[in-house]
Structures are given as C-alpha cells and as structure tokens.
Structure 1
C-alpha cells in the first residue's frame, strides 16, 4: 500500500494548483476513499487534505520570495478560490502574513544570533516543565540549529518555546508550558544550492507530556525529510532573520 500512497503524494506535488478532492486522490491510488484515507494518514502522519494544504503553502512561499505576483494571483495559482482564505491559512501555518513573509524574504540574510521569545506575549504560564538534550547534526548540517516545542507533528506556526543548539549541539528549554507538545529541531545544510531551495534538515520527537516541575531529556538526530513528510512551513525554517527574533 505504501507505493500507492507515494503515488498520491507525487500527484499532490504535481497537481496542487487543481481542486483535488479525497475522491480524486483515492482514484489515482485505485482504492476506496475510506481505505485510502486510513492508509495515507498511517504512512504520512497527516490527512491528504493537510498534506495538500502544506504543499500549496510551500509553493506560495516560493512565489512570494521569487516573483512579483500579487497575493491574490498567488492564491489562485496554488489552488485557493479565495484570497482571504489563503491569507488566513498562510498566516496560521507560517506565523507571518503573505505580505509580511515577502518583506522578510527581502531582508538581507544574516546569521541569527538571538534566541526567539516564546509565542503568546510576555505572560508566563504558572506551571512549566523543562526539556533538554543533545542534538546530533547528521550529515551536512551547519549551525545555527533551533529546537522548539510546537503544538503538532507538523512544523507550522510559532513554537511555544524555542532555543538554539548552536555548535555544541546541546539545547535547553527551561520554561515549556504544561501540555502535550512535539519537539522539532531545524537546520539548513552547510552548503546551499545557488538559486534553489534546499531541504531543511529536521528532527522530531513527540508527543511529549510536559508537567510542571518535570524535566525531560530528548536526544535528536537531524536528517533530510523523506517523501512521507509534508513541507516545513514555519518561518523559523527559513535562514536569516525571522519574526520571532528577540
């Protein structure tokens, strides 16, 4: 069944601008839509709809960085019938509006030296736990590396807590709010291909149940995501300055 899911993922990458439905994707896999939905979610960790949305927004990020197209034109190109719906989805997933992301992408790229502040303003939760460990860089990773606690298994939106691992590979998140979180580490290859996007290196652990006063140790190893992983959408995945910098 995995090869049928891979075929569906290829279809999503090739036809993201079309009005693809669950029925359409199940038809490409030649199975019932209910069986397809179960198997796709088992293999990729997300529903076909969420995978499709991630691919659309990743292409929108590329168009915002590299073309002068308007936000409305980009929304249509990546399969949205409403610019308002596109802007809302983009802002939730990237942690920046489309226009804000375009402006950020035109800021001169400089190494990030500040650790981003936790999302959600200055208020501190009453009870927090701590998460720390060692990040193993894998092949080709170059600093800086950031490690954050996110709400879900996809690297989308803003983290509730973030730290730099840097060259040492050690990271410490001292004030992670109580709750269930996924730990995501992000890095970029030390050498990037000129004029092309290069896949973010990624490590993920979770779900982690964080309770007040408790400490977790998690060791992570970075690697390039395979075809089963939806694109990384958070603005933290892009090199250079980002909206959460302290």
Structure 2
C-alpha cells in the first residue's frame, strides 16, 4: 500500500545503501508478528543507530517502522478473520496484541470496519464477483470541485477494476473522504470533499476475481496500486484538477493494503440497507 503522499522517489537514493538491511527488517516483521520488534533491537540488528534506522526506514517505505509493523499485523489479522475459525481475541494475540481493545480500535481505524463486521460481512460477500462494484459514472454536480483521474493501464495488461479514494492525510488510515470504483484504464471525475491538498490512492484488481480474493490479497487477484497528490491550492467551485495515476505491482517495502475497499464500496451502494448486514 503506497502512501498517498509518497516521498520515496526523491529520498530513496540516499538510503539505497541500506536497502538490504531494511528488507531484512521487514521480512522479520512479516515472519514474527507476535514479537515486539522494538526499534532499538531492530536497529542494532541492522547495524544502525535507532535514529538513523528510523530515518532510513521511512525513506524507503514512506512510513515509520511502527506503522509498518502495525500494517503487517493487521493484514494477517484480516486473512485469519476471513479464512480461519479462531476467535478475534485469539487472532489479536497471535498477531502481537496483548490488549483486545487496542487491537479492535486499531483494526477499525485502519481497515474501516470492526473485526466482527469484517468477518461477518466479508464472508457473506466473499464469492461475489468484483465486477459488481463498478459504479455508474455520476453526473457532475453544479458547484463542486472535481479531480479528473486518469488511471493508467495495469502492468499485466489484464482488464481491471480500480478503486480510487481521496485522503486528507499522507497515509490511508481512515475511511476516505471520497471513493469510487471504475474500470481501468480510464478517466473518472471524483468529487473533492474540500478544497486543498489531498492524496489519491488507487487499488486495482482483475475483474474476474472475487471480493474475497481481494480482501485477502491473494496472488490470483493481481493487486496493483498507484498514488498521486492533488495540488495544495484553492479549488474553486466547478473547477477540475487533472491527476494522472500510473499503476504498478506492490513492492516488498510497501506496507500491506488495509482498508477494506470492497466492503466500503458495497456499503456506499447499499445506503441505509447496509445496517442490516452485521
């Protein structure tokens, strides 16, 4: 999951000599979720001071070590909630949380729904074809700024359904301010909730897969990602901001995709009826 304000293109070269050490640290996080991975310990294992490790890690991943660890823990929790029978409490402990309350709060903030709702709703729609999320292109409101999103082709050449969403912060950690699903490549006008700087995150999957494959990021889903930034300038009513979003395959140093976009899209399409799915 790329940061929506990704600084790696300008800062990564200065940290490239440490990419092996950071890759090793990330691999350790993914393999040993229940361990604390204290900054001092992983920095020492990488032969760096904590300050330098933290700075280099953020240069190469666009997030802090703590946020990356949280992301990989939540990604595994999502997989276990959808595919396994263990209780949410047991899953929280297995991915490194001693407090179920903390786990639930973090999961809900990062994924967009609670662990219980993710399991119930996710399983209910797991076999639904992803193509059902394609939304009808909306008519442009008379007085609302738009971002005209030019979503690029998928690297594998397959037709894809791409969810595009805008965020007010650099890292997608809450429900987006606006969100829509489109067929890519293509151009889509996405309403902007407020004027000013915003990040755009695009997540694409093959149209022939199911929602369940996307939620668990199965290789068969062919997940691709992209990000862009809407300029930090006043956006007048009826103005249009053109934004290009090239798609790429996720990299090892990308934090996992956490927001349950398919579920959020289904909720927005269902409207008031979504309350019936618990």
**Counterparts of residues 97-246 of structure 1 (less than 5 Å):** 97-108=114-125, 109-110=128-129, 111-114=132-135, 129-140=145-156, 141-167=158-184, 169-190=186-207, 197-198=218-219, 200-206=223-229, 208-209=231-232, 211-213=234-236, 214-236=239-261, 238=262, 242-245=266-269, 246=271
* TM-score normalised by length of structure 1: 0.85
- Closer, same or farther: CA 45–196 of 1 in aligned 2, 3 Å: closer
| Cα distance in structure 2, aligned partners of 1:139 and 1:168 | 11
Q: Which has the higher strand share?
A: 1
- Give RMSD over aligned pairs: 2.8
Alignment coverage as a number of residue pairs? 237
Q: For residues 53-72 of structure 1, what are the structure 2 equivalents within 5 Å?
A: 53-72=70-89
| 1:28 counterpart = 2:45 | yes
Tell me the distance in 1 between the aligned counterparts of 2:268 and 2:107: 16
Matches within 5 A, 1:75-90: 75-90=92-107
Give secondary structure in 2 for the equivalent of 1:37: helix
CA displacement at 1:192 relative to structure 2: 5.4
Compute the displacement of 1:134 (Å).
1.4
Segments of structure 1 that go 5 or more residues without pairing to the other structure are 118-126
> How much has 1:152 moved relative to structure 2?
3.1
Provide, for residues 28-83 of structure 1, a one-character-per-residue CA deviation record: whole Å limited to 9, x for no partner: 21211111011001111110000000000000000000111111101100001100
Note if contact 2:29-2:72 (Cα within 8 Å) is conserved in structure 1: yes
The 3 A distance-change label for structure 1 pair 167 and 44 is closer
Q: Which has the higher helix share?
A: 2
The structure-2 alpha-carbon separation of the partners of 1:79 and 1:36, relative to structure 1 and needing over 3 Å to count, comes to: same
Correspondence for 1:41? 58
Instruction: Write out the 4+ residue segments of structure 1 that deviate beyond 4 Å after TM superposition.
Output: 190-196, 238-241
2:9 corresponds to: none
**Structure 1 stretch 6-15 or stretch 170-179: which is displaced more?**
170-179
1:120 aligns with: none
Residue-by-residue CA offset, 1:180-234 (whole Å, 9 max, x unaligned) = 3110111113565989712521110126425331431111111111012100100
Q: Which has the higher contact order (CA 8 A, sep 6+)?
A: 2
Q: 1:208 to 1:74 in 2, by over 3 A?
A: farther
Contact 2:230–2:241 (CA<8 Å) still a contact in 1?
A: no
Judging changes above 3 Å, is the alpha-carbon distance between structure 1 residues 158 and 74 closer, same or farther for their aligned structure 2 residues?
same
Q: Describe the SS at the equivalent of 2:121.
A: helix
Q: CA 1:175–1:41 in 2, change beyond 3 Å: closer, same or farther?
A: closer
State the partner residue of 2:6.
none
CA distance in structure 1 between the partners assigned to 2:217 and 2:51 by the alignment? 37
SS at match of 1:16: coil
